Amino acid sequence: MDNYQETFDTWNKVADIYQDKYMHMDLYNETYNFICDSITTPHANLLEVGCGPGNITKYLLSKRPDFNIHAIDIAPNMIALAQKNNPTATCSVMDSRKIHELTTTFDGIICGFSLPYLSESDSEKFIADASGLLNSDGLIYISFVEGEPEQSCFHTASTGERVFFHYYNLNRLQILLANNGFEHIQVFKVQFERSATVTETHTVLTARKKQS
């Protein structure tokens, strides 16, 4: 079994546990508000990649019910929860490595902690594909944990299930965004308390596709 398949199987197995833990977390709300404030187009089309149980989509729609959101995830159990939590959104089982197959264009692409489950080469393709799917001045949002790619490894949950977690160099990602036609890159830092004794810095990048 390759790293991807084991990771995908894990997310499918722990969907309910993930929903219970993260569905109402407000730690990232400031960055989600930035999305809502930055995308001013009425009835804007958004793509959420790796949506899990639909927590980000639910928050965005609570602030901007006019958004038309297509949420995708590789795990069918996550998509079942996402659709239940967001009846007005379109939720589909889809591999984030295949977004180039979509025929719709978007005003925003949201990738909340999906990038850490893509390899460096697949993340490069993802950002290129996202650029191709975004309308002029469209917003991209990605979150991750900073580190060097060689630090990437399996993480084991309390349930014993494993996911392969990739770390990213901030500067390299900023260059990658610029090389794919993005500008106005902004960085947010969020402190995540992994346990009572361990705090982890999560990084959020946003950028706009250059206007044509």
> What pLDDT does 2 receive?
84
> What pLDDT does 147 receive?
96
Is pTM beyond 0.95? Reply is yes
Domain 3-209 has what CATH class?
alpha beta
Q: What is the dihedral of CA 25, 36, 127, 206, to 10 degrees?
A: -80
> What pLDDT does 99 receive?
98
Residue 187: C-alpha distances to residues 10, 179, 180 (Å): 30, 17, 17
Residue ranges of the domains in the chain? 3-209
Q: What would the pLDDT profile of 155-196 be if each residue is shown by its tens digit? A: 998 788 999 999 999 999 999 999 999 999 999 999 999 888
| Structural contact between residues 143 and 109, judged by C-beta atoms closer than 8 angstroms | no
> What pLDDT does 97 receive?
97
> What pLDDT does 1 receive?
52
> What pLDDT does 139 receive?
98
> What pLDDT does 13 receive?
95
In this structure, what DSSP letter does residue 101 have?
Answer: G
> What pLDDT does 91 receive?
98
Q: Which residues of the chain fall short of a pLDDT of 50? A: none
| Structural contact between residues 56 and 32, judged by C-beta atoms closer than 8 angstroms | yes
In this structure, what DSSP letter does residue 113 have?
Answer: S
